[in-house]
Amino acid sequence: MTALFWHTYGRAVCEFRSTPLFGMSSISPLGKNCLPQLVRGSLFHLLSEFGGNPVEVHTTISELVVEKSGIALVTDFDPESPGVFLEPTEWEQQPRLLVIDRGHHRLQVNDHRMAGVALLREGDQLRLENGKSLEAAFYHRPLIDSPTEEQVGMTCPVCLTKVTADTRVFCCPCGQQVMHHEIEGENPLECVDALTECVGCGKPITLTDGYLRQPAFLQ
């Protein structure tokens, strides 16, 4: 997160006390890394109850702007703006969408008044001051690619061989495990197909793009 964000909002976020609505324990003042960045490959979408294309949430801080045609998320915002700001993050290894209201816009989350700061879960609905609702949807993109420099030399938990730079791997979003996911060659290593969940974090392994849970506003 940027220095600007933490200078302006960091203390409020780290001292935020959740309600049963979000199902979290309180966030203690742990400094600027108390809310980590969302893992790469993951995306939040905002879906309108009135339809239309999903709005992709930037991986950096953005301001939510309401327009006649819908909503827009802008990253080139006025630092003094009394607006509504969004940033994808994580809490207890689960994706969350951080929402901060600097302008007392009478926002609601799941029909409850939002008290300045909130962490939205997948499926939560944010009702704007104009009465329109947005649903936070989590779009999964599996991390399948050549290994990074840090991943080369790691041990695949299935075949127990070292990962080399010339292979293709699946990386669990937790970052703890990489597994071979080759599709070419005479004897491709398809180790990831032998598992249904990560041996590091226990989360299900999903190899296709899509929403982890069907959004209500798409049904």
- Whether the pTM exceeds 0.75: the reply is no
Examine residue 212 and state whether it is found in any structural domain, yes or no.
no
The pLDDT score that the predictor gives to residue 40 is 56
Examine residue 208 and state whether it is found in any structural domain, yes or no.
no
129 Cβ contact list (under 8 Å, min separation 6):
66, 105, 106, 107
pLDDT tens for 127-179 read 999 899 999 998 888 889 999 999 999 999 999 999 999 999 999 877 788 99
Same domain, 183 and 78: no
Same domain, 21 and 119: yes
Indicate whether 34 pLDDT > 60: no
Examine residue 211 and state whether it is found in any structural domain, yes or no.
no
pLDDT tens for 141-150 read 888 999 999 9
Indicate whether 183 pLDDT > 70: yes
Q: Indicate which CATH number applies to the domain containing 58.
A: 2.60.200.20
